[in-house]
Amino acid sequence: MILIFPAIDIKNGKCVRLVQGEPGTEKIYSDDPAKMAILWRGENAKTLHVVDLDGAFQGHLKNLEAIRRVVDAVDIPIQLGGGIRTYEEVKQLFEIGIYRVVLGTAAIEDPELVRRVIKDFGIRKVAVGIDAKNGVVMTQGWKHDSGVDAISLALTMKELGVCRIVYTDIARDGMMSGPNFDAIKEMAVKTSIKITASGGVSCFKDLIRMQELEKFGVDSVIVGKALYENRFPCQALWRMNEKELEDLGPTRRI
């Protein structure tokens, strides 16, 4: 069964969603990302994908306190990406309880960091984020065309010991137009690395189709805007009931 990561993107301390990662397209869904984490946990999320958007744009962590509150709020593993470019930042994130870091720009600019994190913390503690536009890796908050082919980068990372890729098709991100299933499958088949797919999921049917790629190594998917826009069965009922609750139950830790 494919694992679903609800996405929590943090900008200026708030939970937002962007369209294709473009600044200025953000829609604020919550002033408190920790409360968003509690909501997804209350709806049976087994893990969360958190992104420091300010960090991605500026090249270093910017929302550490908000991230810390998310970690403290729930009892499930959290993977984090966005602006993680140094060993010190990686170590700090593990110290506050982040389960896995996602290294994107650093994978191209400082592959030795990837190697060192794997050596010191283990292969399960790091994934490489490959954010692609027309098959080419974009870095620095999706603003810089690296000129590097996405599959070539994945194979290079595999040689360093990476066992998981978080693969995002930028053209689909935030569009709810359906994932790029062909590109996701190609990445999985040509690399034989476990793939977490991201970008474009719009409905339950997309998840069913994504599950068909599990046999190729796509074992998880990140879902953002579709969840926030209540595009799945039962969400309307959950939202109605949650309005009456002051506490979402035993998953709440803040």
Strands (E), the chain: 3-11, 14-17, 27-30, 48-52, 78-81, 100-103, 126-133, 136-139, 144-149, 164-169, 194-198, 218-223
Angle at 126 between CA 157 and CA 87, to 5 degrees: 95
CB 37 within 8 A of CB 59: no
Alpha carbons 67 and 169: distance in angstroms, whole number: 25
Q: Which of 9, 52, 54, 173 is catalytic?
A: 9
End-to-end, the C-alpha distance of the chain in Å comes to 31
Find residue 9's DSSP bridge partners: 16, 51
Q: Which of 54, 131, 169, 173 is catalytic?
A: 131
Number of H helices, E strands in the chain: 11, 12
Alpha carbons 177 and 160: distance in angstroms, whole number: 34
The answer to whether 131 is a known catalytic residue is yes
Alpha carbons 157 and 32: distance in angstroms, whole number: 35
State how beta strands 100-103 and 27-30 pair: unpaired
SS3 128: strand
**Single-letter amino acid code for the residue at 232:** F
The answer to whether 9 is a known catalytic residue is yes
Angle at 168 between CA 214 and CA 83, to 5 degrees: 125
Residues designated catalytic: 9, 131
